[in-house]
A and B are shown apart, each in its own frame.
Chain A
Amino acid sequence: MTALQELIQSVEQASEPAQLVAAVQALVAVKDKQAISTLIAVLGYNNPAAAIAAVAGLIELGTDSVQPLMEQLDEYNYGARAYSIRALAAICDPRALELFINAATTDFAPSVRRGSAIGLGRLQWDRLNPEQVYPAQQQAMATLLSISGDTDWSIRYAATVGLQALAKIPELKAQITSHFDGQSQTESDVGVRSRLHWAQQVLSQV
């Protein structure tokens, strides 16, 4: 058995929570993309400390993690799904665009929707083919604009953060700015209103 296989096995066979965390940390430390599948499985073990370590490892492996994260997305465990989305949102690979759009609008779990909203604001558009860039940015913006009217304050809050990030794109800035102006007139939640106010302030200084 190779050293890597041993590390993977010790993750799979860990029987105590602390033992699992240590095993995941050891596996993450070797930075080998063959560990990706195991790290994704850890997201569903219901051990937050181990999951956080696995997410950090997946983010560090970057683009190599993207395809497996999307393929192994756990449809039956929203906790695991939220961790996957969090990793994808930090890696910023635009292959996750469709996934973020679907999750932000249709997932029942607020944690998954919030993570997707943040992800939509952060994608690295220059990694798309040039002719795809503008339509993709429009789709991301349209999704965030639509969920900014959600009944859950935390979704509206996350949409605001996502839109503020998207407003760095010159072609989108005017529409997002005017949306913020409109929403801040009608927003009923003090927390969301504060976040809108901050976003407006940041955008007015750019």
Chain B
Amino acid sequence: MVDSSPETVTPLTEESAIASLQQEDLSLRYYAAWWLGKFRIRTKAAVDALIVALADEDHRTELGDYPLRRNAARALGKLEDKSAIDSLIQALECSDFYVREAAAQSLEMLGATTAIPALKLLLNSGTEATKQVTGRPHSLEPCEAVIEALGSLGATETVPLIESFLNQPVVKVQYAALRALYQLTQNDVYGQRLVDALKGSDVKLRRVALTDLGAIGYLPAAEAIAQCSVESSFKLIALKGLLEHLALQANLSDAIRVMSLMDSLL
């Protein structure tokens, strides 16, 4: 993910960023919330100020969106402070799609297993949730982020629910389901389908599949990743994902196989 910086860059400090979150100027609040996440300001004061910002009512667009809440939700995922979990679970009920999406991603980053029931609720309508909202560039629910979170959080009871998303038409959601199902079952069938996706005709989708394989550390994909027709930096990151999964098991010969491929992509 690439962080987008606002155009007017004011140099901030930890104190001034936290103070900015309470200022009148809404753009300054928006920037400060992004800044605290970007520079990983992990103090209690920063986390508390962002939790307040997550319930903000001042910064609303004409369409009813909550820009500051979005940035606060994104930042809280990066600060590794579990005291944000309950507020993020509440943010899953926000009317703004992008707040719900950011909250799901941050809960995944925080390893918040207590969020599983609330995440499941977002998929209550089943694959209906992947339908596009008229006039907006997004679906009804942030299915991709929710499914990925359920996979990472080890919500094994959601396997049948997630399986139903394999047959809906949105390809990125299919890949998210494959990724989660592999994490939840360790069944090669799902990993292999992501490997097959590396040969797809759309380069953007090849990048998504590559990222998913890296995230689940699917070792049998190593050679296919190295040969995939995508920029080297994406392949390098995916192979590093494989390597990180291996390093935990201290499996040196497999690690050397992956690192040899990485070396050839430098």
Contact = CB atoms under 8 A, between A and B. Distances in A.
A in complex with B: yes
B263 interface: yes
Interface of B: 229, 231-233, 236, 240, 243-244, 246-248, 252, 255-256, 259, 262-263, 266
A34 to B, nearest CB: 30
B247 A190 contact: yes
Interface of A: 48-49, 110-111, 114-115, 117-118, 153-154, 157-158, 161, 190-191, 193-195, 198, 201
A84 B236 CA distance: 19
A105 B20 CA distance: 36
The 6 closest A-B pairs by CB, nearest first: A191-B240, A114-B266, A158-B266, A190-B244, A190-B247, A194-B247
Contacts, number: 42
B242 to A, nearest CB: 10
Contacts of B256: 198
A110 B243 contact: no
Contacts of B255: 194, 198
Interface of B (DSSP majority class): helix
A111 B233 contact: yes
A194 B256 CA distance: 9
Given A110-B233, A198-B256, 17 more contacts: A48-B229, A48-B231, A115-B266, A118-B263, A153-B240, A154-B233, A154-B266, A157-B266, A158-B266, A161-B266, A190-B247, A193-B247, A194-B247, A194-B255, A195-B259, A198-B255, A198-B259
Given A190-B244, A193-B247, A154 B263 contact: no
Nearest to B246: A194
A114 B232 CA distance: 11
Contacts of B263: 118, 161
Nearest to A119: B266
A72 B39 CA distance: 39
22 contacts: A48-B229, A49-B229, A110-B233, A111-B232, A111-B233, A117-B266, A118-B266, A153-B240, A154-B233, A157-B262, A158-B266, A161-B263, A161-B266, A190-B244, A190-B247, A191-B240, A191-B243, A191-B244, A194-B243, A194-B246, A194-B247, A198-B259
